[in-house]
Amino acid sequence: MPYLAHTAHLQLAGFAFATVGWILSSVTTGLVQWRVWHVANTTIITSGIAWIGIWRTCFFSQVLVSPNQEIMYCQEFSVTDSFIPVEIFVAQGLMVVAIILGATGKAFAACGLRNVYQGSSRITLIHYWFTVGGILNLLSSFCIIIPVAWNLHSVINNYGISFPSTYDMPSSPETQEVGAAIPVGIVSAILLFLSGTFFLSYRLPDTLISKVSPLSPEESIFSDSLSMSSRFSSKSLSLASRKHFTKPVLNCDGIYNEAYESELDEKL
């Protein structure tokens, strides 16, 4: 019979994938390098390169200096700003949802693994823990891949953003390229998808299920009655067999030995 701890090796690997994927999704959300803009006017943007994330835009400037970032100048934007494009607006919401779903999915998977490796009186619930965790991780993966793919499409088509004049950013770049956040987001989505698939593939062996399935009160009474009947029948059969097939025990004078027969009955 297989041990319960031997049934979740794939799910343990899925938990590791989910952990790494969740960390990468958090990194993707915070990175400013979703889009890399190359601009022609270097009067304010000294390096000629600006980075645009889903929460802020940054560039190097010798003219404008942020208080705590030396020559790196950054300005934040939020969902309330009307100038941000739809793909960034959607990314702000979906990435936060993805982080929450990923964390919750990891928690359910951790409960399933805990019941596997520390033992549980109701092991059939392990399947439900892994199922919920797998569904949440798959949803988290979809929430990541949608904004990542949408922003990748915007970069490929060189779409601009109508920044207000206070941001000192052009409305469109000369060229733009994919930032580091997009490939990191793709990797995180793949890892979360794999972990969700691993969790959903968990199956308990039939031998374990049949062993732990409790009997109903009616089944228990019937089982006890059947066991008592079988023991009684077995004893009766042994007595009958002994009487019919065992030769009578005689003493030295050829007389039937009743004492030996009664002793034999007591042993049976």
Domain range annotation of the chain: 4-211, 217-267
The pair phi, psi for residue 62, each rounded to 5°, is -90, -10
In this structure, how many other beta carbons lie within 10 angstroms of the beta carbon of residue 262?
Answer: 9
* Residue pLDDT, tens place only, 123-159: 778 888 899 999 999 999 999 999 999 999 999 999 9
- The reported pTM is 0.72
Confidence category of residue 222, pLDDT binned at 50, 70, 90: very low
**Burial (CB count within 10 angstroms: exposed 0-12, middle 13-18, buried 19+), residue 108:** buried
When comparing pLDDT for 8 and 180, which is higher?
180
Instruction: Taking residues 233-262, report their average pLDDT.
Output: 50
Among 60-74, 127-141, 165-179, the minimum mean pLDDT is found in 60-74
The whole-angstrom separation of Cα 85 and Cα 76 is 14
Q: Out of 3.40.50.1820, 1.20.140.150, 3.50.30.10, 3.30.2000.20, which CATH number does the structure's domain 4-211 have?
A: 1.20.140.150
CB contact set of 18 (below 8 Å; sequence gap of 6+): 102, 105, 106, 109, 133, 137, 191, 192, 195, 196
Q: Mean pLDDT, the chain, as a whole number?
A: 79
Please give the Cα distance from 215 to 237 (Å, whole number).
30
> Can you give the pLDDT at residue 65?
66
Q: What's the pLDDT at 165? A: 85
What are the pLDDT digits (tens) for 174-186? 899 999 999 999 9
**What is the arrangement of strands in the sheet containing 35-38, beginning at the earlier edge strand?**
72-76, 56-60, 49-52, 35-38, 175-178
Residue 249: per-residue pLDDT: 47
User: Is the pLDDT confidence value at 37 over 70?
Assistant: yes
